[in-house]
Amino acid sequence: MKLILSSSNPDKIEEIQRILGDEYEVVLKSDIGLEDFDVEETGETLRENAYLKAKALYDKVKENIIADDSGLFVEALDFRPGVYSARYAGEYATYDDNNTKLLEELKDVTNLNDRRAYFMTTICFISKSGEVYYAEGKLDGYITTERRGTNGFGYNPLFLVKNTNKTLAEMDDLERLSINHRSKAIENLKQILEEIK
């Protein structure tokens, strides 16, 4: 089954393809000539943003579409950055910019238990026939006081996984992919795809 990912992020496609396996072909929107097709994320929730991205692309191509939105939710920051995680430090912020801003905002919060956080991913799948499905995944942890590790992307160097002594960036790909929020959401998506085949 071919799935078009409403994203231009090659980091995401690698992770999704690895979990879904060879029976699914996941391609980026740029692979079908829509690299400039962008959707403004105006939703107030991950689910709304995932749907906006999936629906806009579905309306254009009428194929199997998947779109996701992920966010980091930090308790001490009233669950920010949330839906603004990718652009927390500004519209064109890099991963490093976002990590720097997060550390700055938490600089006075020194107790690890007060730095509780979770990652959440919501995936919206719209089938060729227009049916809409959602899959979610969550990962609990804490925000460290400094960057640790070099694997992965985004906030991985700051996210200490609950019940481990490692950040996501300190884990190898296999370990990280077996537990992270996006992987859990993709596994849930895979179950949906298997059921509707």
For residue range 66-112, list pLDDT tens digits in order: 999 999 999 999 999 999 999 999 999 999 999 999 999 999 999 99
Contacts of 59 (CB under 8 A, 6+ apart): none
| Interatomic CA distance for residues 75 and 171, integer angstroms | 24
Exactly one of 36, 59, 69, 78 is catalytic; name it: 69
Classify burial at 190, counting beta carbons within 10 Å of its beta carbon; exposed 0-12, middle 13-18, buried 19 or more.
Answer: middle
Rounded to 5 degrees, φ, ψ at 33 are: 80, 20
Annotated binding-site ranges for substrate: 7-12, 70, 153-156, 181-182
Tell me the pLDDT tens digit for each residue of 8-64.
Answer: 777 778 888 888 989 999 998 888 888 888 888 899 999 999 999 999 999 999 999
Cis peptide bond N-terminal to 81, omega within 30: yes
| Interatomic CA distance for residues 74 and 80, integer angstroms | 6
Tell me the pLDDT tens digit for each residue of 104-162.
Answer: 999 999 999 999 999 999 999 999 999 999 999 999 999 999 999 999 889 999 999 99
pLDDT of residue 13: 83
pLDDT of residue 70: 94
> In the beta sheet, which residues pair with residue 73?
81, 118
For the chain, the farthest-separated pair of C-alpha atoms sits apart, in whole angstroms, at 51
Closest C-alpha among 123, 77, 79, 130 to residue 104: 77
Annotated binding-site ranges: 7-12, 40, 69-70, 153-156, 181-182
Name the CATH topology of 2-196: Maf protein (3.90.950)
| Interatomic CA distance for residues 7 and 34, integer angstroms | 10
pTM above 0.75, yes or no: yes
| Interatomic CA distance for residues 110 and 7, integer angstroms | 36
Residue 173 falls in the annotated catalytic set: no
| Interatomic CA distance for residues 161 and 171, integer angstroms | 10
Residue with tokens 């006081």: 145
How far lies 118's CA from each of 70, 80, 142, 196, in Å? 11, 11, 7, 30
**What does the domain layout of the chain look like in residue ranges?**
2-196
pLDDT over 90 at 177, yes or no: no
Annotated binding-site ranges for Mg(2+): 40, 69
pLDDT of residue 31: 83
